Structure formats: structure tokens, C-alpha cells
Chains A and B, each alone.
Chain A
């Protein structure tokens, strides 16, 4: 696809030749995830999470389509239809637990994927578009996760819908009409539940579309790698298949073991018991928190407790929460350092880990009651979060003296670049196979 030494696709079987002339789908796969796609030879297991995210999307669509066969999006029977799935439908309990824990797994994988990109500077030129599309996918994923959480129509579902649509109510003048428009009423009810179900079914397919663009944009320049150095020649790469299909396959196996442990042994560990109480519009649960994967952003939302100048605290919180993600859209232009990988950026590397800690602190506060000391900790952590992206990153980029970069990926891996084994492999008559 991207490098001139990419292996050609030459179908030998007559049927495959015939197919290649009519619909070159095998050719596309060969060049995208097959032997025809050269990939940096030094990708670590941190590069598994893209494939895992794709797996999670498929997992969620398959289990989700099945759940939709048995679920009824009507406020009178939605809760009972979920219990019907749990008790009566063949393997329904498995489908629902696989879907609910699949959502959590998806977010774990996607956060690893995002922070991988942050550490190794994968968002920098020439891969800005990959990053931007990734942020779009993340936003769609958050919307889908929220919409899906409303569908069981338990207490957390109902009040989650109330609170999240209430965010839009913070917008001056048009806020309340927008909130009523989103809900199709004054409070979450049948109209809201029905449209949430419709959109929850639609959005994953939109995500799948943007994922195709994400992968397409990625394959224009090829994957970044732990050194952050661009591929120079063939010895810097190995074919995607069999090397990374095998590595991703192993990673998938490890992922599935952890995922299955949750699905089969602690399926409700990541959920809220309150969501097994049917929605009650007259009583809010004592602790109303979103699912764990929204906690950091929820903490940012709640950290604004006082009006700032003429801006009400409510609006500030909403703007800060949305900005905390929208900020990522300008990240490629905030970090001017020409060195990508954190391995060669001693100063950036430290601040990266502080940011990870900061987000974990925000997450912890977001899952706790809205009271001291969590509010003050949230405020400090929120301030630091924005400080990191808007102030620290640009300053570090100009002050930092990066460590010396290796000449090439091959040199970083082998210690020298002239006698690269794989690069010479084609010139040697006998095939060299690594056992």
C-alpha cells in the first residue's frame, strides 16, 4: 500500500484470478491486513489495541443486534423485556452480560489506544488525520455508550438520561428548548426511550464507517512505532501477515481471557445495582454517577461550583467537559516537538505520566459523591488537565532537549543497520526463516 517494497498480490488459482478481475476484495485484504502491508518491525504490544478495538466493535454489534431481537423499546415494558432476556431467552443472560461488559472492555481498549497515541506522539504529522478521526470515533463511542445505558430503563438509566440531556439545558437561551427537543418531552419517557434505541442501533454502524476512514488514513503513512522514527527501507518493516496477525491473535487471546473472567465470574462488577430497580421518575438514587468510563469527564463537569464572571457554573462545567475532549482536535498543533516518541523525550515523558495520574484521579473523584474533599481535588485535577495540553505541552516542546534518536528502526532493534537479516532475505537464494 504505502511502501514500494510491499509484496505484490499474485493469485495463482484460476478462481482467485477470475475474482481479482471482477472484485479485487482479496487484493484489498492482502494490501490492508495481509502479507502486502509492510509494518514497522518493532511494534510492541501497545499496538494491539487498535485491532482489539475493532474486535470490540464487532462483538458489540453482534451481541447488540441479538439483544435488539428480544428487547422492547417501550417505557412500560423495557425493564421487563430485559429481565425476559435474562431469564427466558436462550443464552439471553450471556448475550446481555457480553454486551454490557463488552462496552466496558471497549472503553478499556480505547483508552489504552488513545494513551498509546499520546505517549508515542502518534497524533503528529503526517498522521494528524488518523488522530482526528480517532477523536471522532471516541465521541461517537461515548454517545453510543450513553444511549445504550438508558435502554434497560432502570433507575440509573432514567436519571442518566435526565442528567446528560440536562447538560444541554445549560446552553444560554436555547438550552431548555434543545433539552425538550432531545427528550421529546419535559422528562425522559417513551419518546426519549424510542429515539435512544433507534440511535443506539444506528451509531455503531456510523462508527464502523469512520473506522474504515481511520484505517484508510493510517495506511497512507503506515503505523507509527515505539521509536517514532519513520520507516526508511525494507529492513525496517515486516509483512503484517503472518507477523502481526500472529501477534494480534495472541493479544486477542489474552484480552478474551480477561473479558471472559468478567462476563462469567463478575458480570455486574462494573455496573450499578441501582439499575436493577425500575425507572422511577419521582425518586433519584442517592449516588447518581455514570458508568466508570465517563467518570473523569463527569468529575470535570462537577468541578465548577461557582459562577465565573457572568458565566454560570452550570454552563462552565458543561463547556469544560466538552472542551476536555474537543481539545484533542487541536493536539497535533499544540505539541510542536519534532520528536514523536516519549522514549526520546525525557521531559515530556514525565509530564505524560503525570497526566495519566491526573486522569485516574479525576476518574476516582468522578465516581465518588459530590462533596469535599473530592470537589477540591477535582478542581485541581481539572485545572492540571487543561494546563497539560494548553501550556505544558507547547512549553515542553520548545524547552526540551530530546535524547539522540537512532538512525533507523533497524538500528534501534539490531544495534546496527547494514546487515539487516530481513532486508537481505530476498536477495539470499535460500529462504531465511526465523524459528
Chain B
């Protein structure tokens, strides 16, 4: 009879290296973590603008009645839009300015459509902290530069609605727009 060889039963808990349980542990916790992070996507993105809000993406405005020197306020995405019919004097004043001296250098031509330089269409939202500047309404304070004046913190815009003085960093934003006809403009 051959010598009996006693092989001690291996204790899996004392095995060196990666054990089966380590793998299960890491796999389970990783799956839970990925699932948890994935769940955050709907929880966070539900606060983005909903479909009915995004549907308000463009608005058409009839500008036939706006005389030179007059301006109206339209509403685009729940925000005011200033549509101004510039007088020749205002156009001249805007074109006279040295572009290099501006905080946000832009010519009037860059801010209007070719052949329609008299139609200045900008958002009525001050680029400082979002107040509505004065100047679009009849008899309102138009500031030192004859454009718009923001009463909140004193930003002054010129006749091309470019920032000239005060805390605002940028010119009044020109939204995407196109002339549907000579008297109708489609904003957005």
C-alpha cells in the first residue's frame, strides 16, 4: 500500500491574490454606482426648458408702422426685443465712432442687415445683469450717447446699442433674425 499523502483542504479565504468574492464585490458596487449616476441624468435634466418652452423659438413682428426715430418692444422667448428705426442722424453718429475705442468693437453694419442699416434689432436685456434698458419707449432717458440707458447700474449704450460707459461688458445682443418681407421681420 502506497504512502498516504495528506493534502490539506485549501481555505479560500486565505488564498493570496484576487478572490472570487473580491470580484463580486467590485462588480456589484460598480454596477450600483453606474446605475446611480445614470439615474442622475433624468433627475437633473428634468429642470431644462421643457418642450413647450423650446417651441417658442421664433416670433414674427410687423414693423410697417415704426417711423424713423421710433422704437418698439417685441417679446422673444419671454424677453424684450428692441426694434428701432434709426434716423439718418443716428446712423451718422454711430458710424462716426472710432471702432478701436469701443469696449466691444463692432460697426453698425455688422449689427444690422445689408441695405437695412436703419433697422437696429437688439435684445432689450442689459448685458450687465439683465435689466431692461430705457430708451425704446417714447420720452425715456436714452443716456449720454443717445441710445439706451440702463437704470439699474447706469450702463450707457450708443445709437448702435453698443456699450460706451458703465459696467456692462458687451453690446446689446443682436438676435438671429431675417426680414420675411419689407414690413415683417422674423426673430429667432
Specify the main secondary structure of chain B where it touches its partner: helix
Residues of A within 8 A of B13 (CB): 432-435
Contact A91 B42 (CB under 8 A): yes
Rounded to whole angstroms, the CA-CA distance of A433 and B13 in the bound complex is 6
Q: Are B28 and A92 in contact (CB under 8 A)?
A: no
Given contacts A435-B19, A435-B21, are A90 and B52 in contact (CB under 8 A)? no
Task: Indicate if the CB atoms of B51 and A88 lie closer than 8 Å.
Answer: yes
Q: A249–B47 Cα gap in the complex (Å)?
A: 30
- Taking a contact as CB atoms closer than 8 A, the residue among B28, B42, B46 that contacts A249 in the complex is B28
Given A84-B52, A435-B20, A92-B46 contact (CB < 8 Å): yes
Q: How far is the CB of B54 from chain A (nearest CB, A)?
A: 9
Interface size on B, residues (CB 8 A): 20
What is the CB-to-nearest-CB distance from B19 to chain A, in angstroms, rounded to a whole number? 7
B7 within 8 A of A: no
Residues in A neighbouring B21, C-beta threshold 8 A: 435
A69 cross-chain contacts in B, Cβ below 8 A: 46-47
Q: Which of B1-33 contact A (CB under 8 A)?
A: 11-14, 19-21, 28, 32
Distance, CA A113 to CA B12, complexed state (A): 36
Tell me the complex Cα distance, A91–B48, Å.
Answer: 10
Q: A66 within 8 Å of B by Cβ?
A: yes
A288 CB within 8 Å of chain B: no
Contact B12 A90 (CB under 8 A): no
Query: Assuming the A-B contacts A432-B13, A435-B12, are A90 and B46 also in contact, with contact meaning beta carbons closer than 8 angstroms in the complex?
Result: yes
Asked whether any CB of chain B lies closer than 8 Å to the CB of A62, the reply is yes
Q: Report the minimal beta-carbon distance from B11 to chain A, rounded to whole angstroms.
A: 8
> Which of A95, A433, A435 is within 8 Å of B42, CB to CB?
A95
A419: interface (CB < 8 Å): no
Tell me the complex Cα distance, A433–B22, Å. Answer: 13
Kindly list the 7 A-B residue pairs having the minimum CB-CB distance in the complex, ordered from nearest: A91-B42, A433-B13, A435-B12, A88-B51, A88-B50, A88-B52, A89-B50
29 A-B residue pairs with Cβ-Cβ distance under 8 Å, sorted by A, are: A66-B46, A69-B46, A70-B50, A84-B52, A88-B51, A88-B52, A88-B53, A89-B50, A90-B42, A90-B46, A90-B47, A90-B48, A90-B51, A91-B41, A91-B42, A91-B43, A92-B50, A95-B42, A95-B46, A249-B28, A249-B32, A430-B14, A432-B13, A433-B13, A434-B13, A435-B11, A435-B12, A435-B13, A435-B19
